[in-house]
Amino acid sequence: MQKTDGTEDRKIKGIMFDMDNTLFDLVEAKTASCNAIVDHIGTGDPEELLMYFLRSEHGFESPENIRDYLKDIKVYNEFAFENCCKIYHDTKIDTIKLYPHVLETLALLRERRIGLFIVTDASHANARARLEKLSLSEMFDHIITSDMTGSSKPDIKVFHHALSRTGLRAEEVLFVGDSLRRDIEPAKKAGMMTAHALYGDRNIHELCKAEADHILNNIRDIFNVKGIGQQ
């Protein structure tokens, strides 16, 4: 576990969680969705399609990635595109799975009267659909999405907006996320304590030298953060 000076004396009153790949494995769900699309159209490579999302030209969630792929493999028409978008969305929701111990950890944190918040680049509709599928909606006091903040991480105004919604000071908040560049670095700049969800980090091409105050090898490690306490 890593700590920076001064963080060990903080009393944590709220925890902000990134959602995708922090609470559940979205990459695996997207992989299943890409497989379903390729099966439907009868051609293509699901790994190649997944890379269209990972390259982030349109954004990690944009259906325009599907449009580009269909055009590039020369099978595009509007009807096929709309069908593939539906298959992508439905399969992704059907296959997302929580990481181990997420529900029990969130329940214990709520018992300790710690505020729980989601801060995600997903749209409100997409975030709600995933959280409801996984029975997580009622666990959080606020769900803060990109269409609410008008921006996406790592823009620090996302983190300032989130703090304003919670009514907490930055030094009272722990931010948990899988991305050093999009979660940890800006949260630290905003003055929050940070915890890197190493168990969900799939950001293999991410170049960032930021260091989190704490490393989580599984979500239950959050109870090792002083200011939250042991189970």
Chain centroid to CA 97: 13
Share of residues in the chain with pLDDT > 70 (%)? 94
pTM, two decimal places: 0.90
Q: What region does 183 belong to: left with phi over 0, alpha with psi -120 to 50, or beta? A: alpha
Domains of the chain listed by start with CATH number: 7-24+98-224 (3.40.50.1000), 27-95 (1.10.150)
* pLDDT mean over 175-187: 96
pLDDT digits (tens, 9 = 90+) for 91-138: 999 999 999 999 999 999 999 999 999 999 999 999 999 999 999 999
pLDDT for 1 beyond 90:
no
Report the pLDDT value the prediction gives residue 8, as an integer from 0 to 100: 58
By CB atoms closer than 10 A (0-12, 13-18, 19+), residue 77 is: exposed
Residue 34 and residue 50: Cα distance in Å, rounded?
Answer: 6
212, 184 contact by CB (below 8 A): yes
Residue 73 and residue 212: Cα distance in Å, rounded?
Answer: 41
